[in-house]
């Protein structure tokens, strides 16, 4: 059925519905005249409507079309596709009114995709425009929560029929990311075998992630208009842990781990609309009175059929319906078995029943969020998806939700309008009885309350805006997010703002340094981009400062523009290559001179050349001959000092950073030849199935990269010349490739500039579209558009440094600083490693699993070389059940005052073998003794004191079952109290070392703890609480923090800074929270208000309050954290190889700069 025919059927159908049932047959017969096919189609549609057969999860227009097509579909040829373009069809996945979706295999790159084909009968007209419109919409979106579009267009399709014959036709298609998994509601309810039902918290967490994806779509101008469970599929990572083994029940740890490995993904933008849509196109495809969407999830304005008023708030309504179904298992409106007019009236006039099955603690807030999202008046709904997501996350963290802030006023307003007359009379009597002063005071209170609510909403909107910007991938996100947070802080500062600010300040980003009007420019060849070469219409080349625009020099180039031009690396020389008929020329200027220092006839018609410098800084120019010879000449003399030869004229040329290798492209760019300049020997010949352009070496010379005509950046290891994984992202030929620092910047014929980490191949930012790449030096990036030339600077001053251990650290990892903070010891499953904090070089001390590491004989005033008694410090650790001790002298190769002459990793000799002083259980732990040169060993039921000088051991207390299975012991500085933690064993305890008797027991499954540096307090972490005990009396503890544990029965870690103002606390599995204040003066009720930039005026003097949460980008579990001796650094160990080093002084300075400090 053609779209025109369908609209004719639909128009008569709607008109017939307005007639009385007994009159409909006559009406249809009159309207259809002699067209029997049309009459049968309308009658079938009316019978389908009378039977109440509209499924709530079926898009309305598709439901109508399915009935009509059943009656009027012409006989089909039975053709089915075998392949479309570069895609091999595997099997059908589903079909709609205009198209069919197949599972397909793409060969280059090799991946499985979902390919959507337009039905042959709709290959022209409105359906084809809708198909193209869907491609335009998907091309705007790039978010992990939205299925990506890989390709769109018209390709040759091979079709086959039942007889086995085949034919090739032109076929419109969309190639989309294939998402395999259950829909969101099915995933939440679980199937009992591969996935258990999700908790309410996990359902809300996934829902917020879907909101983030929709916020991205709305920010890019796209309204989905058909949100429902079937359009949100949950992709499950293959690396997720299995759902129980040998019939074992699911555990919370299983669910949490698997939840982190899933990705809810939005699909089917077939009826989506652009906010900045073409009005004519929208009218053509969404006529007045037509319903677009799925009935059970359509907003009141959608079921009214007025396309002109539909905006992003219709999507917010649908998400409210989806949240209701996600929490209750059923949609709020049951439209099964009722007619269309009844369903429309139900949606427009009736409120959904409130949820009653939820926990009372969150029931009211959840209902308030749903009611606000599903408000009949769209002005009453959330203004954006970001606000809806923010309210859900506030519910998850126990904060007041914005949805409840004004619900009472809204209900009151509705009541007043419903009983206007009666209330008017009552108000008249009230005014007679109420003094004017009381009325005035009431108005003042209302105004103040309204202003306060407005301020809170405005502040929360700034926070949501900042989070949405930061979690995007656009250039400039760091600075835009911080600016939004500064506006929020002007209203009210709290820990949430500071947390978001810290996450933004850890991002690497580009900041605009300067702009100038569009012009023909060059910065090629510069090691540091501090200048631009600009050629004017008058034939003069002007050299300008890259940031200020100040003129540095001007050169007379002549009336013929050069074909290519570039600087010498230091910017002292500028060369121009001229192409003229069958010959060319190269002209070299020295900046500051009026005339060129060298004019050379180019051996090629293209005027090819290179400018460079040798190790002594002497400049040279390289000329390329048509025979493949490359001559290197000194500047300014022009004297030839070296040469190399290719087998024929090369295209693109590239020189390695050390000047030893020269790369040239051959055979039209499909072969790269690599020559060694000192011998002329060809080192490698790299064949490629695609054309390669712009070869470039990495700064260390370890990698060669080149852009390909397939839209990928190809890479090779220069040691073996084996190919590395290509970087895939451009949609056309990659014309420019520049590697500098850790980044690669590429420009393509698709008009996009992309930034990558060339070591990992990961793309770091969304592409800059409509720009051309001019240059990049590792810090500065130069882009040009049709309007201007921009110079951007890379900002990567994150206060957090990421270290990589030799292997996973595991759950028993620990860390210890030397007395002066110069060195850091890290023990874990991968062994024992020592790091130099000056340059973060490292050295392995042991490769066997290690735990419980200590520095001995040192204090805060002691350097790494000598302690207060003139004795060299020592290192002690449990390695595979043995107590090993090393002398710290092995850390240096000379020097004094704690200085190390070379990085640890460059030491040629291996570290000396340790002395083994004790052998016992691999599960043993050690801690400092208060006396110099001694350690305390906890092994099973034994608690021993060991003299490191003599190796003699004596019992600290008698063996006791109280300590059996304990972990992470900690002795207070005076040696009087010993804390022993717990992990699925006997209770944690504090022992009096003089008597061996327990002073305190904590009967929890998991308990971690440690004394403050002065020994006056004991910090205790249990599952869900952080406590502090006063060691003077061991009475009732004070609570520093309380939270809902994400991993039941798993305690976090805690550490206090040496001078006391900061406490770092881990909330399992991966969150790190900073608390401010001194635990000696903590209040019994922790403040929930956060802190002001210079202290919280509402908190009690000395109270501990939350300051911020520190980002953990990979979200690995955190087994241990430590402050440096001076409190300037916080070390965060993870279960994997990652170690995070937070420079707290830098962090505070950056926050203070933006008015976000504590």
Per the DSSP assignment, residues forming a β-bridge with 157 are 84, 169
Check pLDDT > 80 for residue 1083: no
Is 143's pLDDT higher than 70? yes
Cα distance between residue 1027 and residue 1018, in whole Å:
8
Which letter does DSSP use for residue 688 in this model?
-
How many Cβ atoms sit within 10 Å of the Cβ of residue 90?
Answer: 13
Cis previous bond, 37, omega within 30 = no
As a CATH number, domain 650-778 is 2.130.10.10
* pLDDT at site 1020: 92
Task: Name every residue whose Cβ is closer than 8 Å to that of residue 63 and which is 6 or more positions away in sequence.
Answer: 54, 55
Q: How confident is the model at residue 859 (pLDDT cuts 50, 70, 90)?
A: very low
1001 vs 191: which has the higher pLDDT: 1001
Confidence band (pLDDT; 50, 70, 90) for 959? Answer: confident
pLDDT at 421: 63
Higher pLDDT, 780 or 1038: 780
**CATH fourth-level superfamily of 193-405:** Transferase(Phosphotransferase) domain 1 (1.10.510.10)
- The burial class, CB within 10 Å (0-12 / 13-18 / 19+), for 405 is middle
Is there a contact between 589 and 596 (Cβ–Cβ < 8 Å)? yes
Condensed to tens digits (0 to 9), the pLDDT of residues 270-324 reads 676 666 544 444 443 444 444 566 888 999 988 877 666 788 899 999 999 999 9
Q: What average pLDDT does the segment 387-393 reach?
A: 93
pLDDT higher than threshold 50 for residue 1095: no
Rounded average pLDDT over 741-765: 91
4: pLDDT confidence band, cut at 50, 70 and 90? low
Please report, in angstroms and rounded to a whole number, the separation of the first and last CA atoms in the chain: 68
Q: Residue 483 pLDDT > 50, yes or no?
A: yes
CB atoms within 10 A of CB 20: 7
**Angstrom distance (rounded) from CA 1007 to CA 988:** 6
Tell me how long the chain is. 1158
**Spatial distance between the Cα atoms of 1041 and 1011, rounded to a whole number of angstroms:** 17
Q: What pLDDT sits at residue 444? A: 74
pLDDT digits (tens, 9 = 90+) for 618-647: 999 998 887 888 899 999 999 999 888 888
Residue 76 pLDDT grade (very low, low, confident, very high; cuts 50, 70, 90): very low
How does pLDDT run across 199-251, given as a tens digit for each residue?
A: 898 999 999 999 999 998 888 888 888 899 989 999 876 544 444 433 333 44
Residues 6+ apart with CB under 8 A from 895: 901
Buried b (16+ CB within 10 A) or exposed e, 427-452: eeeeeeeeeeeeeeeeeeeeeeeeee
Q: Which tokens in the block code for residue 310?
A: 């539909």
In the 8-state DSSP scheme, what is residue 527? S
Query: Could you tell me which residue, 856 or 425, shows the higher pLDDT?
Result: 856
Q: Is the peptide bond before 120 cis (omega within 30 degrees of 0)?
A: no
Q: Is residue 899 classed as helix, strand or coil in its secondary structure?
A: coil
Q: What is 782-847 written as a DSSP string?
A: EEE-SSEEEEEEEE---SEEEEE-SS---TT-EEEE-TTSSEEEEEETTEEEEEETTTTEEEEEE-
Tokens matching residue 965: 């299975």
* Low-confidence winner among 467-471, 697-701, 887-891, 895-899 (lowest mean pLDDT): 895-899
Helices (H) and strands (E) in the chain, counts: 20, 67
| Average confidence (pLDDT) over 137-150 | 85
Weakest-pLDDT range from 11-15, 306-310, 498-502, 1062-1066: 306-310
Tokens 């159908």 belong to 13
| Cβ neighbours for 426, distance < 8 A, ≥ 6 positions apart | none
d(CA 949, CA 931): 12
> Which of the two residues, 754 and 909, has the higher pLDDT score?
754
Q: Cβ contacts of residue 140 below 8 Å, gap of 6+? A: 220, 221, 222, 274
Q: What dotted CATH number matches 80-177?
A: 3.30.200.20
In this prediction, residues 938-955 reach a mean pLDDT of 90
Distance, in Å, from the CA atom of 1155 to the CA atom of 485, rounded to the nearest integer, reads: 10
Mean pLDDT over 116-128 rounds to 71
pLDDT bin (cut points 50, 70, 90) of residue 965 is confident
One DSSP character per residue, 487-521 reads HHHHH---HHHHHHHHHHHTS-EEEEEEEEE--EE
pLDDT in tens, 498-522: 999 999 999 999 999 988 898 889 9
Taking all residues of the chain, what is their mean pLDDT, rounded to a whole number? 82
- In 3D, which of 1065, 1053, 1021 has the Cα closest to residue 1119? 1053
Average the pLDDT over each of 440-444, 964-968, 1028-1032 and give the range with the smallest value. 440-444
- Percent of the chain at pLDDT > 90 equals 38
Q: 403 falls in which pLDDT band (50, 70, 90)? A: confident
Whether 67 shows a pLDDT value over 50: the answer reads no
Residue 355 has pLDDT above 90, yes or no: no
Residue 902 or 667, more confident: 667
- Residue-wise pLDDT for 541-586, tens only, equals 899 999 899 999 998 877 777 888 899 999 999 998 887 655 678 8
Res. 808 pLDDT band, cuts 50 70 90: very high
CATH architecture of 812-1003: 7 Propeller (2.130)
Distance of CA 1111 to the CA centre of its chain: 12
716-737 pLDDT per residue, tens:
999 999 999 999 989 999 999 9
| CATH number, span 512-646 | 2.130.10.10
CATH topology of 512-646 equal to that of 812-1003? yes
- Domain ranges, ordered by start, for the chain: 3-72, 80-177, 193-405, 512-646, 650-778, 812-1003
The answer to whether residues 1010 and 1055 touch, using CB atoms and an 8 Å cutoff, is yes
Is the pLDDT at 426 greater than 80, yes or no? no
pLDDT at 152: 85
Is the confidence at residue 897, as pLDDT, over 50?
no
Task: Give the pairing of strands 723-728 and 712-717.
Answer: antiparallel
Give the mean pLDDT of 434-453. 75
Residue 865 pLDDT: 38
CA distance 749 to 732: 5
DSSP classification of residue 702:
S
Q: How confident is the model at residue 1046 (pLDDT cuts 50, 70, 90)?
A: confident
């Amino acid at each position: 059925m053609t779209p025109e025919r369908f609209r004719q059927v639909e128009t008569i159908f709607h008109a017939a519905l307005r007639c009385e049932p007994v009159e409909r047959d006559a009406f249809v017969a009159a309207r259809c005249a002699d067209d029997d096919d049309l009459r049968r189609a309308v009658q079938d549609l009316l019978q389908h409507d009378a039977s109440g057969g509209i499924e709530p999860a079926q898009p309305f227009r598709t439901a109508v079309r399915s009935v009509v097509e059943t009656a009027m579909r012409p006989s089909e040829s039975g053709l089915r596709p075998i392949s479309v373009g570069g895609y091999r069809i595997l099997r059908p996945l589903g079909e709609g009114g205009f198209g069919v979706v197949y599972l397909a295999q793409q060969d280059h790159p090799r991946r499985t995709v979902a390919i959507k084909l337009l039905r042959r009968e709709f290959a022209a007209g409105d359906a084809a425009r809708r198909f193209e419109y869907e491609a335009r919409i998907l091309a705007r979106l790039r978010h992990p929560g939205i299925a990506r579009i890989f390709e769109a267009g018209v390709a040759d399709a091979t079709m086959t029929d039942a007889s086995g014959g085949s034919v090739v036709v032109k076929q419109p298609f969309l190639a989309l990311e294939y998402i395999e998994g259950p829909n969101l509601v099915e995933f939440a309810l679980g199937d009992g075998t591969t996935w258990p039902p999700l908790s309410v918290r996990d359902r809300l967490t996934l829902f917020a992630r879907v909101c983030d994806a929709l916020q991205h779509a709305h920010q890019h101008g796209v309204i989905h208009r058909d949100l429902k469970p079937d359009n949100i599929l949950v992709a499950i990572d293959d690396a997720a842990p299995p759902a129980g083994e040998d019939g074992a029940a699911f555990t919370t740890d299983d669910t949490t781990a698997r939840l982190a490995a899933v990705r809810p993904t939005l699909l089917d933008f077939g009826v989506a609309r652009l906010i900045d849509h073409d009005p004519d196109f929208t009218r053509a495809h969404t006529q007045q009175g037509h319903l677009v969407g799925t009935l059970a999830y359509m907003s009141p304005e959608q079921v009214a059929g007025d396309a002109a008023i539909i905006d992003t708030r219709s999507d917010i309504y649908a998400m409210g319906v989806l949240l209701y179904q996600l929490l209750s298992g059923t949609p709020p409106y049951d439209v099964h078995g009722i007619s269309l007019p009844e369903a429309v009236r139900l949606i427009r006039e009736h409120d959904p029943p409130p949820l009653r099955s939820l926990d009372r603690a969150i029931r009211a807030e959840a209902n308030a969020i749903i009611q606000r999202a599903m408000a009949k008046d769209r002005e009453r709904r959330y203004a954006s998806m970001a606000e809806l997501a923010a309210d859900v996350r506030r519910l998850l963290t126990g904060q007041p939700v914005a949805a409840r802030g004004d619900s009472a006023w809204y209900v009151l307003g509705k009541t007043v309008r419903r009983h206007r007359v009666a209330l008017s009379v009552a108000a008249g009597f009230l005014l007679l009885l109420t003094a004017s002063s009381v009325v005035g005071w009431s108005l003042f209170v209302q105004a103040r309350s309204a202003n306060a609510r407005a301020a809170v909403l405005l502040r929360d909107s700034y926070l949501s805006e900042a989070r949405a910007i930061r979690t995007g991938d656009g250039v400039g996100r760091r600075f835009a997010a911080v600016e939004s947070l500064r506006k929020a802080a002007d209203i009210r500062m709290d820990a949430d703002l500071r947390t978001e600010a810290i996450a933004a300040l850890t991002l690497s980003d580009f900041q605009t340094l300067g702009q100038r009007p569009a012009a023909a420019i060059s910065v090629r060849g510069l090691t540091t981009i501090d200048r631009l070469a600009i050629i004017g219409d008058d034939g003069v080349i002007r050299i300008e400062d890259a940031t200020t625009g100040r003129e540095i020099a001007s050169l007379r180039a002549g009336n013929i523009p050069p074909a290519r031009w570039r600087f010498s690396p230091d910017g002292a020389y500028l060369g121009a290559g001229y192409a003229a008929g069958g010959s060319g020329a190269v002209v070299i200027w020295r900046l500051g001179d009026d005339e060129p220092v060298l004019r050379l006839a180019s051996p090629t018609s293209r005027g090819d050349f290179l400018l460079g410098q040798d190790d002594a800084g002497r400049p040279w120019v390289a000329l390329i001959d048509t025979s493949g010879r490359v001559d290197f000449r000194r500047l300014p003399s022009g004297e030839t000092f070296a040469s190399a030869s290719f087998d024929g004229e090369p295209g693109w040329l590239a020189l390695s950073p050390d000047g030893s290798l020269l790369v040239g492209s051959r055979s039209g760019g499909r072969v790269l030849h690599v020559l060694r300049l000192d011998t002329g020997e060809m080192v490698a010949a790299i064949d490629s199935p695609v054309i390669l352009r712009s070869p470039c070496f990495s700064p260390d010379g370890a990698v060669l990269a080149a852009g390909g005509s397939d839209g990928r950046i190809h890479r090779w290891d220069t040691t073996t010349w084996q190919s590395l994984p290509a970087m895939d992202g451009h949609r056309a030929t990659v014309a420019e490739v520049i590697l500098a620092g850790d980044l690669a910047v590429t420009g393509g014929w698709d008009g996009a500039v992309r930034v990558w980490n060339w070591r990992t191949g990961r793309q770091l930012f969304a592409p800059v579209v409509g720009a051309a790449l001019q240059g990049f030096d590792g810090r500065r990036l130069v882009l040009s558009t049709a309007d201007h030339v921009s110079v951007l600077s890379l900002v990567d001053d994150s206060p957090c440094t990421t270290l990589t251990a030799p292997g996973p650290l595991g759950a028993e990892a620990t860390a210890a600083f030397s007395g002066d903070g110069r060195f850091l010891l890290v023990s874990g499953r991968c062994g024992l490693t020592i790091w130099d904090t000056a340059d973060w070089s490292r050295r392995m001390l042991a490769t066997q699993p290690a735990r419980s590491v200590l520095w001995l004989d040192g204090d805060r005033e002691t350097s790494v070389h000598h302690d207060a008694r003139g004795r060299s410090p020592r290192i002690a650790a449990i390695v595979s059940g043995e107590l090993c001790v090393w002398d710290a002298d092995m850390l240096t190769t000379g020097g004094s005052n704690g200085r190390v002459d070379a990085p640890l990793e460059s030491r040629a000799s291996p570290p000396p073998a340790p002395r083994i002083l004790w052998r016992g259980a691999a599960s043993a732990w050690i801690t400092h003794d208060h006396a110099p040169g001694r350690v305390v060993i906890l092994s099973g039921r034994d608690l021993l004191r060991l003299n490191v000088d003599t190796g003699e051991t004596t019992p600290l207390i008698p063996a006791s079952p109280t300590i059996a299975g304990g972990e992470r012991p900690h002795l207070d500085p005076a040696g009087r109290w010993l804390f022993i933690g717990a992990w699925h064993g006997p209770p944690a305890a504090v022992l009096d070392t003089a008597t061996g008797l327990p002073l305190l027991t904590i009967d929890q499954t998991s308990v971690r703890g440690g004394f403050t540096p002065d020994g006056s307090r004991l910090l205790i972490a249990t599952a869900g609480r952080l406590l502090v005990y006063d060691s003077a009396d061991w009475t009732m503890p004070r609570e520093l923090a309380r939270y809902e544990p994400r991993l039941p029965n798993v305690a976090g870690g805690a550490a206090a800074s040496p001078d006391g103002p900061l406490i770092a606390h881990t909330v399992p599995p991966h969150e790190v929270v900073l608390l401010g204040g001194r635990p000696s003066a903590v209040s019994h009720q922790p403040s929930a208000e956060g802190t002001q930039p210079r202290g919280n005026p509402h908190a009690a003097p000395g109270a501990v309050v939350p300051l911020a949460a520190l980002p953990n980008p990979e979200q690995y579990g955190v087994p241990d954290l430590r402050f440096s001796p001076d409190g300037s650094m916080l070390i965060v160990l993870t279960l994997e190889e990652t170690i995070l080093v937070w420079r707290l002084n830098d962090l505070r300075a950056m926050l203070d700069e933006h008015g976000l400090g504590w």
